[in-house]
Amino acid sequence: MKSLRKYFIVLGLTLICSASGLFAQQITKFAVVDTARVYQAYYRDSSSVRNYESKKAEFQKEINKLVSEIQGLHDKKLEYQRAGKDSDALKVEQQITKKTEYLNEYTNAKNMELKTLETSLQNNNEFYKKLYSTLERVAETGGYSMILSLQQNNAILWYSPSVDVTDEVISRLGISGE
């Protein structure tokens, strides 16, 4: 009977030690954020974004107009070729070349302009300060150790210092961290 009692005491102590080890381990939780959706929602009513979208639509309308004109010239050139008017077809070919060059230059210039506007919108410090502060609150209330971006591979948007093991790695490597 004494040995059975001793067995249960040892078993109980083992279970308590095991359970306390499990509870002592922190479970690391990760979260992801679709920053593109957050960005769109934040700027939906922004005059800056409306201006960007307006310019984008205006540029596309002009590009469509130029493409249509070039297509019309191609049709005209084919008509001249079918009618045997090679000199007229050659003149139209030159017009096509000039308009195509202009279209390429216009498209490149307007794409650069739109890219500059987009970069300016994306680099808005007020938005990012608010975003990172919100991410921190969401992480802390949700118990997340790390929040990753869905758009960028390996982009950590926020992390708890508790998951940073840099000092331990340096120590175990036996090197100085300074």
Would you state the pLDDT for residue 65?
A: 95
Tokens describing residue 109 = 């210039």
What is the pLDDT averaged over residues 110-132?
A: 80
The number of residues in the chain equals 178
Token match 């080890």: residue? Answer: 21
Interatomic CA distance for residues 91 and 158, integer angstroms: 62
Greater model confidence, 130 or 109: 109
Interatomic CA distance for residues 136 and 55, integer angstroms: 35
What mean pLDDT value characterizes the chain?
79
Contacts of 150 (CB under 8 A, 6+ apart): 32, 33, 34, 35, 36
DSSP characters for 99-140? HHHHHHHHHHHHHHHHHHHHHHHHT-HHHHHHHHHHHHHHHH
Tokens describing residue 155 = 């982009």
pLDDT category, 2, cuts 50, 70, 90?
Answer: low
pLDDT for residue 171 is more than 90? no
Q: In Å, how far from its chain's centre is CA 48? A: 19
Contacts of 56 (CB under 8 A, 6+ apart): 114
